[in-house]
Amino acid sequence: MSKVLIIGAGGVGGVVTHKCAQVPEVFSEIVLASRNEAKCQKIAAQVERPIATARVDADNVPELVALMRDVQPELVINVALPYQDLTIMDACLEAGVHYLDTANYEPPDTAKFEYKWQWVYQERFEKAGLMALLGSGFDPGATNVFTAYLAKHYFDEIRTLDIVDVNGGDHGYPFATNFNPEINIREVTAECRHWEGGAFVATPPMSLKQSFTCPEGVGTYQIYRMYHEELESLTKHYPSLEHAQFWMSFSDNYLKHLEVLGNVGMTGIEPVLYEGRPIVPIQFLKELLPDPASLGPRTKGKTCIGVLVHGVKDGKPRDVYLYNVCDHQACYREVQSQAISYTTGVPAMLGAKMMLEGKWMKPGVWNIEQMDPDPFMADMQRHGLPWSVIEEPGYSLAH
Ligand code: NDP
């Protein structure tokens, strides 16, 4: 029985609140805080259990510490933006609270997402007897756990990893992003990096694509190789990996809009002066685009996210594909959100559940694949993200 403080009342924060509320035996009290308390109240009103709300600026450590001392949670679930990771970790250390997030720290002025800023907190969390669990969303998150599960049960050694994230959903807008537009566009327009022969190799964004047919009739989509943060931790924790890549599906329509927006400078992260005021183009663009939290009722179709691993078992080569399929409309019926926020919010709740039940509680800063995958995988089946395994799927992805 534990009190949890959720920070961030966006698309993901809404799902985390709904899903924690479904497990009262673990999350006995829930407090939802964000910069704009009205957003917290709107989410709280959708949930049958009482949810307390608060206003907090998560860029401000003293404000966070004061809130944590007032609320006295056991754990903070950080589903604000990656810019707030370090301030929330600092406040957790000061107030003596465990920490969990779904995305690694990004400095606002450079589109560079790396774990190094958070890994340096290892000793401080360990000494304080506190745990920080990093990347407990879907990707990163469930995809890391899938990799750990396959490495544990299906292989003696894993050699090649392809993470494939397909969103076959359609929201009917000419252009919208399924999670925070600023973070999404920074990620998609970043230089691509993949792991090859013990080092990261850089290639231009979106320069390698191929067609991918999802199981369970989800459909065939164009997937593009791009950099994603879990490649950094997985290649560190699985040094036998010779090759690791991340792929995401995009429609021609999405890419055409992005190309035009990029060409006219609307995706830039450097401030420009407009009538004497500095304006960051991508932040202005975010204001114009649909709020991802509003896409739920309109999005139809399914997501299919999984990992394809090649390796060796008992001296023989083996290929295994492990995936989850999630239906946008089913998510909306359950928690009033589309599947992208749902597939992120459920693993955030499950990571918190693992910690609070003591299954994963270990002082220090950890990536999710460093934990035992088995209890998390069992809970995914029970809490809305069922997964399946296909042995020898016959897929081959371009290298
Ligand atoms: P949204 O933009 O919908 O929500 C972010 C929320 O954070 C908003 O409610 C915002 O409040 C709040 N926030 C932002 N800055 C502050 C601040 N300084 N203080 C307090 N609250 C703040 O984003 P999403 O819900 O789509 O994404 C949430 C997180 O989940 C992001 O970090 C994203 O990268 C991550 N994510 C991870 C995925 C994974 O699979 N691992 C997939 C998708 C997302 P306000 O509205 O008041 O400004």
The model's pLDDT over 82-126, given as tens digits with 9 standing for 90+, comes to: 999 999 999 999 999 999 999 999 888 776 778 999 999 999 999
Res. 184 pLDDT band, cuts 50 70 90 = confident
Residue to substitute in 81, 182, 188, 343 for testing ligand 1 pocket (most ligand atoms within 8 angstroms of CB): 81
pLDDT attached to residue 124: 98
For 213, the enclosing helix (H) or strand (E) is strand 209-214
Q: Does residue 227 register a pLDDT over 90?
A: yes
Residue 336 confidence (pLDDT) above 70 = yes
H helices present in the chain, as ranges: 11-21, 37-46, 61-71, 85-95, 116-119, 122-128, 142-153, 181-188, 230-237, 252-263, 281-288, 328-335, 339-356, 373-382
**Substitution candidate for ligand 1 out of 40, 179, 187, 295 with most atoms within 8 A of CB:** 179
Q: Quick check: CB of 59 below 6 Å from ligand 1?
A: yes
Residue closest to 16 by CA, chosen among 336, 292, 372: 336
Contact 57 CB / ligand 1 (< 6 Å): yes
pLDDT for residue 244: 98
Query: 80 CB less than 6 Å from ligand 1?
Result: yes
Ligand 1 pocket, 281 CB below 6 A? no
User: Is there an atom of ligand 1 within 6 Å of 344 CB?
Assistant: yes
DSSP lists the bridge partners of residue 246 as: 163, 226
Distance from chain centroid for Cα 1: 26
Distance (Å) from CA 82 to ligand 1 centroid: 8
What is the DSSP track for 280-334?
Answer: -HHHHHHHHSPPGGG-GGG-BSEEEEEEEEEEEETTEEEEEEEEEEEEHHHHHHH
* Residue 121 contacts residue 364 (beta carbons within 8 Å): no
C-alpha 9 – ligand 1 centre gap (Å): 7
* Ligand 1 atom closest to Cα of residue 139: 40
Q: What is the pLDDT of residue 112?
A: 74
CATH architecture of the region 142-339+387-391: 2-Layer Sandwich (3.30)
Determine whether the shortest distance from the Cβ of 11 to ligand 1 is under 6 A: yes
Tell me the pLDDT of the chain averaged across its residues.
95
Pure H helices in 157-219: 181-188
Query: Does any ligand 1 atom lie closer than 6 A to the CB of residue 167?
Result: no
Cis-peptide, bond into residue 140, ω within 30° of zero: yes
Q: Among candidates 233, 238, 241, which has minimal Cα distance to 116?
A: 233
Residue 133: which residues within 8 A CB-CB, separation 6 or more? Answer: 99, 100, 101, 351, 355, 360, 366, 368, 371
Contact (CB, 8 A) for 8 and 34: yes
137 lines ligand 1 (CB under 6 A): yes
Range in 92-106, 170-184, 218-232, 380-394 with the lowest mean pLDDT = 170-184
**Ligand 1 center from residue 83 Cα (angstroms):** 9
Give tens-digit pLDDT for 31-42: 999 999 999 999
Residue 111 is predicted with a pLDDT of 67
2-134 and 142-339+387-391: same fold?
no
Average pLDDT over residues 264-283: 94
Task: Tell me how far the alpha carbon of residue 308 lies from the centroid of ligand 1, in angstroms.
Answer: 29
Q: Is the CB of 138 under 6 A from ligand 1?
A: yes
Quickly list DSSP for 348-363. HHHHHHHHHTTSS--S
Residue type, 389: V
Q: What are the percentages of helix, strand and coil residues in the chain, rounded to 5?
A: 40, 30, 35
- Asked whether residue 238 carries a pLDDT value surpassing 90, the answer given is yes
Ligand 1 geometric centre to CA of 356 (Å): 23
Atom from ligand 1 closest to the CA of residue 344: 40
Query: Which atom of ligand 1 is nearest the CA belonging to 183?
Result: 34
Ligand 1 atom, smallest distance to 9 CA: 9
Does ligand 1 lie within 6 Å of residue 351's CB atom? no
Query: The tokens of 23 are what?
Result: 């497990």
Which residues, in sequence order, are bridge partners of residue 164? Answer: 247, 306
| Domain locations in the chain as residue ranges | 2-134, 142-339+387-391
Q: How buried is 1 (Cβ within 10 angstroms: 0-12 exposed, 13-18 middle, 19+ buried)?
A: exposed
- Distance from the alpha carbon of residue 79 to the mean position of ligand 1, in angstroms: 5
pLDDT value of position 32: 98
The two tokens of residue 284 are: 């202005």
List strands edge to edge, sheet with 98-101: 52-55, 27-34, 2-7, 75-78, 98-101, 131-134, 364-367
User: Which residues, 6+ apart, have CB-to-CB distance to 45 below 8 Å?
Assistant: none
Tokens for 139? 């990707």
Lowest mean pLDDT among 15-24, 150-159, 186-195: 186-195
Q: Which of 67, 97, 73, 66 is nearest to 2 (CA)?
A: 73
The model's confidence at residue 189, banded by pLDDT at 50, 70 and 90, is confident
- Architecture in CATH for domain 2-134: 3-Layer(aba) Sandwich (3.40)
Q: How far is the CA of 85 from the centre of ligand 1 (A)?
A: 11
Crossing angle of helices 373-382/339-356, nearest 10°? 130
Comparison of pLDDT for 67 and 396, the residue scoring more: 67
CA end-to-end span of the chain, whole Å? Answer: 48
Q: What atom of ligand 1 comes closest to residue 81's alpha carbon?
A: 32
Place of tokens 């995936």: 323
Does residue 64 contact residue 99 with C-beta atoms inside 8 Å?
no
Q: Is the pLDDT of residue 21 over 80?
A: yes
Residue 144 has pLDDT above 80, yes or no: yes
Separation between Cα atoms, residue 310 and residue 157, nearest integer Å: 9
Cβ–ligand 1 distance for 368 under 6 Å, the answer: no
| Location of structure tokens 């600023």 | 182
| Cα distances (Å, whole numbers) of residue 84 to 109, 133, 235, 353 | 13, 15, 25, 22
Q: Band of the pLDDT at 367, cuts 50, 70, 90? A: very high
Token duo for residue 91: 């406040």
